Structure 1
């Protein structure tokens, strides 16, 4: 949902919200990166940012339900929830977290490489079409 649609500039609209707000970000989420959650919270005068540390990316909001329930319940009770999730829980994940982070990094690198490959493929297709049109005009066969 775009809270600024029809209301003005994004940051100005967020700054005008007087309500208490809880913004929860997941440190491994690539669909809604933590940086974007931090940006939202930074513009809202009464927002609290809480980070869930998880190797599960965007799905962490489904998997880390215990942490999420705790932070939401504490927020609703008026308790301060700024900070990060349970270090104990995160440490239990141990090498799984580091492996998941490495997989995430490799996925990012693969996505970037695929973008480059797509661009190069498009360039090659364009060059092939140009060569064929030049070849077709001169009668040369390719």
Structure 2
């Protein structure tokens, strides 16, 4: 354990961490000061579903990706997750996750889909009538 000039202690080789203040890397540093996702028209609602693209280029040696990008890729590797789940799993603010997902979308690493809005789903009454019609055959 070492102490810095402020008296905060941290283990050498670990992330900078102050037990009272939390992580010392601020969100704007993770996103390079950006607040909006890159691709125009990309919408990252909390319920948008993010999937790792199986045809994605290998990003293991890509130095342009930070550790936060890699964390999101690892979380998507096992299953499709919503933006909210990714933010919770990566322990990052949603705004940061949206910007990082924009980067991954531009690189072709992930695909983003939005669930069908309830207004676009078929009416239950119509489905019941179809079932009744099929039974009558």
Which fold has the larger relative contact order, with Cα–Cα distance below 8 Å and residues 6 or more apart in sequence? 2
TM-score (norm 1): 0.25
TM-score (norm 2): 0.25
- Could you say which structure has the higher helix fraction? 1
* Structure number, greater radius of gyration: 1
